Structure 1
């Protein structure tokens, strides 16, 4: 098992309200997933997932994009897929609120990804992710992984 911390969690079915966003409907074939990477309780960068599609073989495809949190500039230089059909996703009107929530939720963790959807300019919390992509990060370049590693401060982490 790649993520053993899930092993002891009893499987459940959760039913949620269907979320649809009018603002990004023409930009993506699916909801845009805003993933705020936080290090030491501070938002660092925003990863976007859009145009999710289910393939015939059961796997799915998705466009992964990267934006700075402050200026909403692309950081595609840190992504491995140079042939992706990227779109310019506009800076969310509620970005500051989303970053504030991510800051609060990530407080006390050396690294966590805080995921959101934005529906009609309102952020909806998705999940906290501690081992994104089972820590494989195939979509990040080696340079990106080194940059993120430098942002993590483990001096206050107590080992058992």
Structure 2
């Protein structure tokens, strides 16, 4: 099925209406347009290994999750060399994450089957997000982030819409207890909670407090994405330390239902009003040798 038709029908099925691909109006419309019309440097910045160089240059290596291994081939020897706890990931899409809190509870064969399934998948075909197509699939292993109490930190998903006269325009989604009883909440840049949930996660009964040093997180996030236009920046903040997760240029692949629906239109208007003058980054900056 042609990409345009696939996305048109997929949007209708998930969001409940047909999208406007010629004159985008909603947030999802704009994301669908991006899926079909990617900018070349997105492929580098969406590559979870290649982007590390960009992050180190923009905000410093201390904000990168430590790498344990990036093997050319996953072997039993590689598995044996891994620590007791780690995270296995693939670089070429979303959802390729396996958390291992105790290596004794898994095996090389189990992880290798999962890894080979990931590496065999052309993620660009899943939701027709074309900028993933040039990325060469790679497997890698990261340090497992935990806070002082041994808990996996919440996902901080920051929708970055540039800035206006009042300052940065940011809507931060917080996914807490992701691997237990997940909840999702969305806050503006002043940490006021919106009547909007993240995906299909219910909102928390008690809103989570802002991360420590929220102003510094906003400063780092703004610096990191300067010149990129709209992007969703994922961070982790265990015990006040700030770690980069990923950059996502087409979050939800244009089929993300908003509840209530009015936010789809409100965020779409932010796309329309973002100043092109802010998009000052030279795309050639990202056309470099990478893992793609």
Normalised by the length of structure 2, the TM-score is 0.44
- Report the Cα offset of residue 105 of structure 1: 1.6
Pairing of 1:1-160 with structure 2 (within 5 A): 1=125, 2=127, 3-22=129-148, 25=151, 30-40=152-162, 42-53=168-179, 62-70=182-190, 72-75=191-194, 77-79=195-197, 84=202, 86=204, 87-152=206-271, 153=273, 156=276
Question: Counterpart of 1:58?
Answer: none
Provide Cα deviations, 1:65-101, integer angstroms capped at 9, x if missing partner: 111221x2211x2338798251421111121111111
Higher strand share: 1
CA RMSD in angstroms comes to 2.7
The 3-state SS of whatever aligns with 1:53 is coil
Structure (1/2) with the larger helix percentage: 2
Q: How many equivalent pairs are there?
A: 145
5+ residue gaps, structure 1 = 55-60
**Structure 1: distance between partners of 2:136 and 2:221:** 27
Which 4+ runs in 1 deviate beyond 6 A?
A: 80-83
Structure possessing the higher radius of gyration over alpha carbons: 2
Residue segments in structure 2 that go unaligned for 5+ positions in a row: 1-124, 280-292
Provide TM-score, normalisation by structure 1: 0.76
